[in-house]
């Protein structure tokens, strides 16, 4: 139990009041300072390279940041090519060895980072000529080497190993695979196989296709002047050759019709990474972009957001809960996430979903809106302390075709967001009903508890690379345990074969409560394999009857003789103790292993009937009793897993029968109480008679 209790007795640390200041009032702010964005100079070289210069003379430093304007590249079975190419850029050029590049950079105390979509270099301004010399050489004249590729490939594959245990890496990878699909550049997953497929030619091809000035931006930020850097840039990048760059088109990834619950097992985990997400169609700079980011601010954008106040400050489930709404040219996304301890994984998900639904319902106050607007206004000014921000603004304007004054009027746009607009965008973009719930955590301790969030009753399991896998709490059964021993143990547990054989016929009177209505259900099993099931509700009664050969259904909607598959199914229904027949040709029975179900260790036994219908039976390792069976059933919402829990075993004539059945399929659940079991009862003459 949570140790939360409110003590009325708050202990104050000191009670001295200070005379001259009125501390009870929050100080008033002074006049608002003017926020100057300043001008970002820009020019374009003949080869198409767009250059932006932000002067900032606070420190004698300069940073050159080159970025390629690429929406996304689908790499397929060679996923990882661009990443490898980016890393290999700094491993040698036509003019320099790797050692010369590395020492050259370190010697001037500089930094050089190369990556798939660009190069970042910074140093003290006094070293900038040397820095640019190396940077431009890398950009224009990279030379790729087989040995370096192999080295890096090995490191990448090792790196994947470290990610297998990193909950954040797993969550991010699987989230992307689910959201965007593996056929979208945003959803591709790099694996050992795809890395093995990459050749030096692929690397070369990537570099010569995409490292072109006509799709590149160069941001120069720091203690320099435009006048000073323009000739430098012309000198170093003027001869960079432009090229034809292909532009791939991608389809909008499809989303699930109902919420999918996904799980990645991380054995031994003490926390679950929980997340809820969906794709959105929200373009940068579009009308909804700023209102959506405001809505996200209220929901999960910071410490005082709804999610954090609830999951952290109210419930202490987590160190922090956040959400984000990301606009994007191709496909954007919404997601909310938190890391919570195992025991409260389901409670935390419930609260998270509640907050999302509240947002959708428009439960947002003017006060919340005002607070977040002030916060965003203040942090806008704060972000300008880093001169890179201004360069980023200038590049965004070009990249996303934003109006020239987009950032100059940014604060006005924030101020103009209304409560109604926030409600509208919340409903539009926060959409878990057509999204995913993902939990990365300890399957043994957590998975069962989150089933209830799945409308289909099913959890899909994934490996850390986003591949769907079979549910894996299953462990091999100990030596000596077989399907036969499990079933023998079960038969022994409910009374032994001798006593079971004495049960020739059976009467079971059952009831359940559904939406306030009492429903009665009675089953009768005859001596010759007959079967009758009666259901009576306030709306009418129905029955299914099987006379050993023929079967019929009678209901207020009409009567029908059962044939074919349905008749076959009835034959199986009519068996009192199916386990007694498991090792005949009517069934095929396989022991799958030991699992954890219904809070206990169970033997998982697959039962396949001769008609091909499959179900899983779970027998308690400890008591031997059947505690759960599951099967796939067809419903209006598609295929679903139906679970039947067997509880409350009580002996009648030395044979134990479950006296409570709990059944659920998706959101539907019901509890059936067995009121009376009679063994070898006097059954009414002609009870199983069928009139055609």
The residue among 127 and 654 lying less far from other proteins, judged by its C-beta, is: 127
> Which tokens in the block code for residue 256?
């699930």
Q: Does 320 bind other proteins (CB under 8 A)?
A: yes
Q: What are the CA-CA distances from residue 384 to residues 37, 378, 394, 510 (Å)?
A: 8, 10, 13, 71
Site string for other proteins, 257-296 (x = CB under 8 A): ---------xxxxxx-------------------------
Q: Tell me the longest C-alpha to C-alpha distance in the chain.
A: 108
> Shortest approach of other proteins to residue 30 CB, angstroms?
4
Q: How far apart are CA 134 and CA 236, in angstroms?
A: 10
The residue among 290 and 626 lying less far from other proteins, judged by its C-beta, is: 290
Q: How far apart are CA 655 and CA 196, in angstroms?
A: 61
Q: Does 5 bind other proteins (CB under 8 A)?
A: yes
The residue among 128 and 630 lying less far from other proteins, judged by its C-beta, is: 128
> Shortest approach of other proteins to residue 36 CB, angstroms?
8
Q: How far apart are CA 309 and CA 323, in angstroms?
A: 13
Q: How far apart are CA 494 and CA 659, in angstroms?
A: 13
438 exposure class (CB count in 10 Å sphere: 0-12, 13-18, 19+): buried
Rg (CA), the chain: 34
Q: Does 7 bind other proteins (CB under 8 A)?
A: yes
Is 106 strand, coil or helix? helix
Stretch that binds other proteins, among 375-383, 402-410, 413-421, 426-434 (CB under 8 A): 375-383
Site string for other proteins, 121-160 (x = CB under 8 A): --xx-xx-----------------------x--xx-xxx-
Q: Does 517 bind other proteins (CB under 8 A)?
A: no
Q: For other proteins, how many residues bind (rule: CB under 8 A)?
A: 99
Q: Of 189, 185, 142, 138, which Cα lies nearest the Cα of 163?
A: 189
> Shortest approach of other proteins to residue 360 CB, angstroms?
24
> Which tokens in the block code for residue 380?
């806008």
The residue among 2 and 504 lying less far from other proteins, judged by its C-beta, is: 2
The residue among 21 and 539 lying less far from other proteins, judged by its C-beta, is: 21
Binding residues for other proteins restricted to 435-494, rule: CB under 8 A: 475
* Cβ within 8 Å of residue 379, ≥6 positions away: none
The residue among 54 and 280 lying less far from other proteins, judged by its C-beta, is: 54
Q: Does 225 bind other proteins (CB under 8 A)?
A: no
Its sign, for the CA torsion 674, 675, 679, 682, is: negative
Please tell me the total number of residues recorded for the chain in this structure: 692
The residue among 90 and 259 lying less far from other proteins, judged by its C-beta, is: 90
Q: Does 58 bind other proteins (CB under 8 A)?
A: yes
Residue with tokens 């550049």: 185
Q: Does 165 bind other proteins (CB under 8 A)?
A: yes
> Shortest approach of other proteins to residue 148 CB, angstroms?
9
Is 410 strand, coil or helix? helix
Q: Does 670 bind other proteins (CB under 8 A)?
A: no
Q: Of 74, 76, 438, which Cα lies nearest the Cα of 251?
A: 74
Site string for other proteins, 333-372 (x = CB under 8 A): ------xxx----------------------------xx-
> Shortest approach of other proteins to residue 163 CB, angstroms?
9
Q: Does 1 bind other proteins (CB under 8 A)?
A: no
């Amino acid at each position: 139990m949570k140790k939360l209790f409110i003590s009325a007795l708050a202990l104050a640390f000191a009670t001295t009041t200070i005379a001259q200041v009125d501390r009870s009032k929050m100080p008033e702010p002074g006049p608002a300072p003017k926020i100057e964005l300043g001008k970002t100079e820009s020019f374009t070289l003949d080869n198409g390279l767009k250059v932006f210069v932000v002067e900032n003379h606070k420190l004698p430093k300069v940073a050159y940041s080159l970025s390629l304007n690429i929406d996304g590249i689908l790499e397929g079975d060679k996923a990882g090519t661009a990443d490898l190419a980016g890393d290999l850029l700094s491993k040698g050029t036509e003019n320099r060895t790797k050692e010369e590049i590395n020492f050259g950079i370190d010697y001037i105390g500089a930094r050089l980072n190369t990556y798939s979509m660009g190069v970042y270099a910074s140093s003290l301004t006094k070293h900038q000529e040397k820095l640019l010399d190396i940077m431009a050489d890398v950009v224009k004249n990279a030379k790729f080497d087989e040995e370096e590729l192999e080295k890096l490939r090995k490191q990448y594959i090792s790196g994947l190993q470290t990610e297998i245990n990193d909950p954040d890496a797993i969550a991010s990878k699987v989230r992307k695979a689910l959201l965007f699909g593996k056929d979208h550049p945003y959803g591709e997953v790099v694996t050992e196989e795809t890395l093995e497929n990459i050749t030096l030619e692929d690397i070369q091809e990537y570099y010569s296709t995409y490292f072109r000035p006509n799709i590149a931006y160069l941001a120069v930020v720091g203690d320099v002047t435009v006048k000073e850097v323009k000739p430098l840039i012309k000198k170093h990048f003027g001869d960079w050759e432009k090229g034809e760059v292909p532009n791939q088109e991608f389809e909008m990834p499809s989303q699930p019709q109902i919420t999918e619950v996904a799980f990645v097992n991380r054995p031994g985990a003490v926390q679950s990474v929980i997340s809820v997400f969906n794709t959105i169609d929200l373009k940068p700079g579009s009308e909804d972009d700023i209102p959506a980011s405001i809505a996200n601010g209220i929901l999960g954008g910071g410490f005082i957001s709804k999610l954090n106040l609830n999951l952290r400050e109210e419930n202490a489930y987590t160190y922090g809960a956040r959400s984000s709404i990301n606009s994007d040219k191709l496909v954007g996304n919404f997601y909310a996430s938190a890391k919570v301890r195992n025991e409260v994984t389901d409670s935390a998900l419930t609260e998270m979903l509640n907050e999302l639904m509240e947002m959708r319902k428009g439960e947002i106050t003017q006060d919340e809106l005002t607070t977040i607007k002030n916060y965003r206004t203040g942090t806008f000014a704060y972000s300008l302390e880093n001169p890179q921000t201004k360069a980023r603004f200038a590049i965004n304007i070009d990249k996303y075709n934003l109006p020239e004054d987009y950032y100059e009027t940014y604060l006005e746009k924030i101020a103009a967001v209304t409560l109604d607009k926030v409600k509208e965008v919340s409903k539009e973009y926060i959409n878990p009903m057509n999204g995913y719930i993902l939990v990365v955590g300890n399957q043994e301790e957590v998975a069962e508890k989150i089933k209830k969030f799945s409308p289909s009753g099913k959890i899909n399991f994934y490996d850390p690379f986003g591949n769907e896998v079979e549910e894996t709490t299953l462990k091999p059964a100990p030596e000596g345990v077989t399907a036969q021993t499990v079933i023998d143990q079960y038969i022994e547990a409910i009374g032994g074969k001798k006593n079971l054989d004495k049960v020739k016929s059976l009467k079971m009177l059952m009831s359940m409560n559904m939406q306030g209505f009492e429903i009665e259900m009675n089953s009768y099993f005859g001596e010759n394999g007959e079967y009758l099931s009666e259901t009576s509700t306030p709306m009418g009664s129905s029955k299914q009857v099987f006379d050993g050969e023929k079967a019929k259904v009678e209901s207020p909607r009409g009567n029908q003789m059962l044939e074919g598959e349905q008749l076959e199914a009835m034959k199986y229904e009519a068996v009192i103790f199916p386990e007694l027949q498991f090792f005949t040709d009517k069934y095929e029975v396989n022991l799958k292993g030991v699992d954890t179900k219904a809070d206990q260790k169970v033997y998982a036994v697959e039962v396949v009937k001769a008609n091909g219908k499959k179900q899983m039976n779970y027998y308690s390792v400890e008591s031997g009793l059947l505690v759960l069976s599951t099967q796939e059933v067809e419903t209006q919402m598609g295929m679903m897993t139906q679970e039947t829990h067997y509880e409350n075993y009580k002996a009648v004539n030395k044979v134990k029968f479950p006296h409570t059945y709990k059944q659920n399929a998706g959101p539907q659940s019901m509890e059936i109480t067995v009121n009376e079991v009679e063994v070898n009862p006097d059954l009414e003459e002609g009870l199983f008679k069928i009139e055609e």
